[in-house]
Structure 1
């Protein structure tokens, strides 16, 4: 009997195993079929469906937590798999200098690609599999990445006035950004810099809004050209070799008082439309995916809290359908000091119309605060749905749901020879020849390649970091040749001259050391040190030490060409008589060979100033068309290599600057009629805006009445709800009081600052007077001593 049982056990176990396997197989098949049915019912996963259908389908499936996560952009160092999945994070960024391995790590394109891919895989592992969007500041090439091509900053590109060149630069930048797995660039900057004291002036193409408008062609390169009849304001992206762009910083960032970064832009509506808004009109027509808000204020209202401009004008009037993103910790700066009332900052920024918040570090506080505001109906649910719909629309337009992981085969695009040649071309076209010979009839440029002995001097001649400027590898930029790859101006000169021509490099020659050196010419390369944003704000705009000394020491002894490496016009008039030839090279980037190409005549000088070059800082702000326009070099000025000029015949002359499309003093009758028609059109637009705001106020009044009536009904539903409503009203009153306190505080701070500046001014005036008196006393003393000495000699 036992033997029979032992024989049956294996048979029974085997049958059970077979039954289990069949059951599991049926379960798997059933689950797969169920998943397939579920996928078929998920319209958002079907690329054949219209984008709006996919957005609507996905939005209705999302929880509040998933929606708020989509509105959150965090720094890559915080983007662990756990954080991405726990908080449903919608976007990640690299701040300036932030990459794999930390700041300035010289990470390869593959390391960047792998990092972005791992973060993306975490996002795809969430319940709905919504891909994140990774963004980076690629403002003059893929400038955070080692070995990437660094193009000239915008201040130089504006000089070219070449939309086709800008389009090609956009294409090259997009390829290099995509090579690292990143699909989103925080570019282009459409600021119209009206005061060079601003630390971000080099990010602006020009003081002329027409030039800024024309050079939005870079968007065609970054995102691809929209098809005919594309709906203006609707986001567009042409395939996996392009990147989503961001028009920034909306709006008026280049017009702040005294050029102070993040300050107040004081200008009327007509002026805002005419000077600071023109770049955004073509950007929307070109399908720009996102718009980034400015840190600055417009007539005292922080742009991050400006509902009228963000929602009423940009979204409703201009019909922008992409998403609006804050700047880095931008909502914190709504209050003074920053982050002083974070609940208020979150409330007003979201209600103003910002869809995605760049909150690199304090993302949990942001999410908790926003969720609480939504639960209390301070931020309405339809505002959340609008924001998330816009973010999803961009992600669908980018093809992220179909191809979330990028293309690793693009790795060799980083710093490719073709891109470096393009950057070299851009450098050549961005140079402006401001002076060519002390006697214009005897120009010294182009320099001879053959024979002679050439001195190259200056702090910026053999320094890639200084040559590239801010926003290169790190946020503030670096000094030295170890941070990226390229060609310094010195190396470009050495590669250009013919055999037998001696090139001698002395960074800072001592006074009197060059007379017997036998130099036929000297090239002095000096300028500003790298900076970004507020750290670049300047009250004096002088060339940093030892630049002025180098100019004097060299140019007093050798026939010299001075090449300025600066992010803006600087004080140069005191040295102008000593200089034989003067070239503005701006911040040329990694390809210094382009400077040598033009100095030695392989290509001509063609650049024309895209901004006014002042004589003295006390003239600022001074822009073309201003009443008291008396520049050192006027807007549009630029000599060609043969000494001719498209601007004034001499830099210090009082002749009028070359006429431009924005000049207000044209004498032609047709232009007068055109301006009259334009004023009438702008007046009509202004009235239309006024009527729109009036209608909106009536609408909001009706909405408030409806909410009030609804509140009365809700009061009857329970004592607890009544108490909650009372708390909400108290919080509202508290916020209002806090807002008034902050307003009063800012007013007091401005008054104190004004008083302090006046005191400092008076103090400096007094010190100058005392110094003057002291010099006079010393002079009288020396004179008396001289007479006394002469008297003694007579006695002897």
Structure 2
């Protein structure tokens, strides 16, 4: 995904904010399954778990009318849908957009929300359970108190598929604890221009790196979808080429030959398919001027045919609406997208009109009934494989797994492995007993170090989630009496006599897609630059730690800084940064992207340019 804010950003954001305060259930609560209906279903083949999946799906499909089928192809946003609507319209799925959460935003609050909607689905004659989807892109990041792992660009720096698989497994457990069974992750974009606002969602610029990190699919789904109770459905997104748009423009145009598209952007999808990924999300972007949501060649011929993808294809947030250039999902939009191979359509708010339109175009013959049956068969197959017919409700015994010490320890390890030391003239590791000045805009801000897609879509600065900041990690490692903190160095006298070394933690503030594009380059803020100038003038040995979702313009710093470290967006466990700075963990991360001398144009390995630090760069320390 995804997200509520598009060209009409303000209007939708206001609507989401208003609706988020509303309850999805009626005052009387969700509808209870009809005992007589349940009795009538008892013994039907599609409910017999001993039968092969294909036989169960075929039996169920044969019992469905057009309304059942169209409903299964429809996904609505939780803030505007009720259990009664799920039942009446036979909805196949409900989602939470970024920041769309129940009240209270707790494990129990989520479980109550999802179970209420699930009861609506189970009350229907066929009792087909819903899929509930969220953007759990670096942990269950919509949930307050969940473990927030490093964003993908940091995980790409680890080059550790086993670690990434373990993160996928931990994420799946925390997601399952809330009743959610589907995540819109992993993002398999191959980022080719760091000015793009989604760069941090990419594992790197090299398709081989991205392909290796599809191990997260195995972590999320387990060896086979539904083989464990905490298995959740993964989504390979955004198909295809979203990381290669001209100028790094979000939802832009990827202008490449087919050979280039295949070599760079398609390869990770094959790796994910080989791991059994259950769903694929289509990109908002275009390929050579044609919107991906309507591209039958890439969706049906290549993805489903050539690559053999047998899961289901879901649209992005109202992405079908964009095909004809007019607002809303028109008849033309729906016909083109569904015939192109989109199986489930994310229509967050206008789900009723979409259902009416799709029903009409099928009845008129513009969309073949065989295409509808194919789409529904794929969706039902995922539901059967997940075991939703046998266990549709939340396993509330998992609540204690959310934010557990084990998961936070895993996240801390991931942070340490993700750090890339780019320059070091001896300032690192910080020696025991050193007097350290810690400063900078990102030194003591867990919101900044977590980045976008943390509690809300765009993320936010400040103490928004429980965790450990980089400052707190250094205080714990070195001792409070050895660490002086000055947020912008204005409150501390910066002299070499007062401190042995300064750690300046600078970089970006949170953003996500659309709002994160930086067409003019990715640069440090004036406040960060002023701070670094003061440190330089004082002659204090300085370690610069860059907290960001992509490379930033740091060329001017190299002639005076004693060490430069890329910390990416580490998430809630800032102590992992301290582990590397103090030498408790030797740095092992290497750049997953080329670091340009100037960020006003893209630089990639093999393109003939001369980066400041090349793909794979990274230093370590000698053994102590």
Structure-1-length-normalised TM-score:
0.72
Does structure 1 residue 308 correspond to structure 2 residue 311? Answer: no
Does structure 1 residue 342 correspond to structure 2 residue 330? Answer: yes
Contact 2:427 2:501 in 1 (8 A): no
Q: Secondary structure at the match of 2:485?
A: strand
Q: What's 2:122 paired with?
A: 124
Distance, in Å, in 2 between the alignment partners of 1:634 and 1:545 is 27
Does structure 1 residue 555 correspond to structure 2 residue 554? Answer: no
Evaluate the alpha carbon distance shift between residue 35 and residue 401 of structure 1 in structure 2; reply closer, same or farther with a 3 A threshold: closer
Q: What's 1:64 paired with?
A: 66
Question: Which runs of structure 2 are paired with 1:652-691 in the superposition (5 Å)?
Answer: none
Contact 1:295 1:327 in 2 (8 A): yes
Evaluate the alpha carbon distance shift between residue 34 and residue 169 of structure 1 in structure 2; reply closer, same or farther with a 3 A threshold: closer
Question: Which runs of structure 2 are paired with 1:121-520 in the superposition (5 Å)?
Answer: 121-226=119-224, 236-339=225-328, 342-437=330-425, 443-450=426-433, 452-481=434-463, 483-498=464-479, 501-510=481-490, 513-515=493-495, 518-520=498-500
Evaluate the alpha carbon distance shift between residue 35 and residue 296 of structure 1 in structure 2; reply closer, same or farther with a 3 A threshold: closer
Q: Deviations over 1:283-322 (max 9, x none)?
A: 1111111000000111111100000010111112222111
Q: Secondary structure at the match of 2:466?
A: coil
1:544 corresponds, among 521, 525, 533, to 525
Contact 2:197 2:513 in 1 (8 A): yes
Q: What's 2:584 paired with?
A: 602
Kindly state the Cα deviation for residue 335 of structure 1 after the two structures are TM-superposed: 3.1
Q: Secondary structure at the match of 1:397?
A: helix
Evaluate the alpha carbon distance shift between residue 35 and residue 544 of structure 1 in structure 2; reply closer, same or farther with a 3 A threshold: closer
Q: What's 1:763 paired with?
A: none
Distance, in Å, in 2 between the alignment partners of 1:424 and 1:91 is 34
Kindly state the Cα deviation for residue 338 of structure 1 after the two structures are TM-superposed: 4.0
Distance, in Å, in 2 between the alignment partners of 1:596 and 1:467 is 13
Distance, in Å, in 2 between the alignment partners of 1:281 and 1:292 is 14
Kindly state the Cα deviation for residue 115 of structure 1 after the two structures are TM-superposed: 1.1
More displaced, 78-87 or 301-310?
78-87
Kindly state the Cα deviation for residue 111 of structure 1 after the two structures are TM-superposed: 1.1
Q: What's 1:673 paired with?
A: none
Distance, in Å, in 1 between the alignment partners of 2:546 and 2:564 is 8
Q: Deviations over 1:496-523 (max 9, x none)?
A: 0147x42111111249942376111111
Distance, in Å, in 2 between the alignment partners of 1:511 and 1:491 is 18
Q: Deviations over 1:75-133 (max 9, x none)?
A: 111221221111111100010011112xxx6x211111111111101110011100001
Contact 1:552 1:575 in 2 (8 A): no
2:506 corresponds, among 502, 509, 526, to 526
Q: Secondary structure at the match of 1:241?
A: coil
Distance, in Å, in 1 between the alignment partners of 2:262 and 2:63 is 40
1:115 corresponds, among 113, 117, 123, to 113
Q: What's 1:670 paired with?
A: none
Kindly state the Cα deviation for residue 32 of structure 1 after the two structures are TM-superposed: 9.8
Contact 1:511 1:553 in 2 (8 A): no
Evaluate the alpha carbon distance shift between residue 238 and residue 555 of structure 1 in structure 2; reply closer, same or farther with a 3 A threshold: farther
Indicate the structure (1 or 2) with the bigger Cα radius of gyration: 1
Distance, in Å, in 2 between the alignment partners of 1:538 and 1:199 is 7
Q: What's 2:4 paired with?
A: none
Contact 2:183 2:232 in 1 (8 A): yes
Q: Secondary structure at the match of 1:546?
A: helix
Kindly state the Cα deviation for residue 282 of structure 1 after the two structures are TM-superposed: 1.9
Distance, in Å, in 2 between the alignment partners of 1:336 and 1:575 is 45
Evaluate the alpha carbon distance shift between residue 633 and residue 556 of structure 1 in structure 2; reply closer, same or farther with a 3 A threshold: same
Distance, in Å, in 1 between the alignment partners of 2:68 and 2:140 is 31
Distance, in Å, in 2 between the alignment partners of 1:333 and 1:545 is 38
Q: What's 2:571 paired with?
A: 589
Evaluate the alpha carbon distance shift between residue 366 and residue 36 of structure 1 in structure 2; reply closer, same or farther with a 3 A threshold: closer
Q: What's 2:81 paired with?
A: 79
Distance, in Å, in 1 between the alignment partners of 2:101 and 2:599 is 39
Contact 1:565 1:586 in 2 (8 A): yes
Contact 1:449 1:498 in 2 (8 A): no
Question: Which runs of structure 2 are paired with 1:688-767 in the superposition (5 Å)?
Answer: none
Distance, in Å, in 2 between the alignment partners of 1:327 and 1:38 is 34
Distance, in Å, in 2 between the alignment partners of 1:186 and 1:492 is 31
Kindly state the Cα deviation for residue 50 of structure 1 after the two structures are TM-superposed: 1.2
Evaluate the alpha carbon distance shift between residue 33 and residue 172 of structure 1 in structure 2; reply closer, same or farther with a 3 A threshold: closer
Contact 1:552 1:578 in 2 (8 A): no
Evaluate the alpha carbon distance shift between residue 476 and residue 48 of structure 1 in structure 2; reply closer, same or farther with a 3 A threshold: same
Structure-2-length-normalised TM-score:
0.92
Kindly state the Cα deviation for residue 629 of structure 1 after the two structures are TM-superposed: 2.1
Total equivalences in the alignment: 588
Structure 2 unpaired stretches of 5+: 1-33
Distance, in Å, in 2 between the alignment partners of 1:191 and 1:34 is 45
Q: Secondary structure at the match of 1:547?
A: helix
Contact 1:290 1:322 in 2 (8 A): yes
Contact 1:556 1:578 in 2 (8 A): no
Kindly state the Cα deviation for residue 641 of structure 1 after the two structures are TM-superposed: 2.0
Kindly state the Cα deviation for residue 33 of structure 1 after the two structures are TM-superposed: 11
Kindly state the Cα deviation for residue 337 of structure 1 after the two structures are TM-superposed: 4.7
Kindly state the Cα deviation for residue 74 of structure 1 after the two structures are TM-superposed: 0.5
Contact 2:596 2:602 in 1 (8 A): no
Kindly state the Cα deviation for residue 556 of structure 1 after the two structures are TM-superposed: 2.6
Q: Secondary structure at the match of 1:617?
A: coil
Distance, in Å, in 2 between the alignment partners of 1:33 and 1:130 is 16
Q: Secondary structure at the match of 1:172?
A: helix
Question: Which runs of structure 2 are paired with 1:774-793 in the superposition (5 Å)?
Answer: none
Distance, in Å, in 2 between the alignment partners of 1:573 and 1:271 is 31
Q: Secondary structure at the match of 2:214?
A: helix
Distance, in Å, in 2 between the alignment partners of 1:32 and 1:124 is 11
Contact 2:486 2:492 in 1 (8 A): no
Q: Deviations over 1:318-354 (max 9, x none)?
A: 2211110001111112233543x72211111111100
Question: Which runs of structure 2 are paired with 1:609-624 in the superposition (5 Å)?
Answer: 609-618=591-600, 620-624=601-605
Q: Secondary structure at the match of 2:213?
A: helix
RMSD (Å), alpha carbons? 1.8
Evaluate the alpha carbon distance shift between residue 611 and residue 591 of structure 1 in structure 2; reply closer, same or farther with a 3 A threshold: same
Kindly state the Cα deviation for residue 406 of structure 1 after the two structures are TM-superposed: 2.5
Q: Deviations over 1:420-441 (max 9, x none)?
A: 000000000000011112xxxx
Contact 1:529 1:544 in 2 (8 A): no
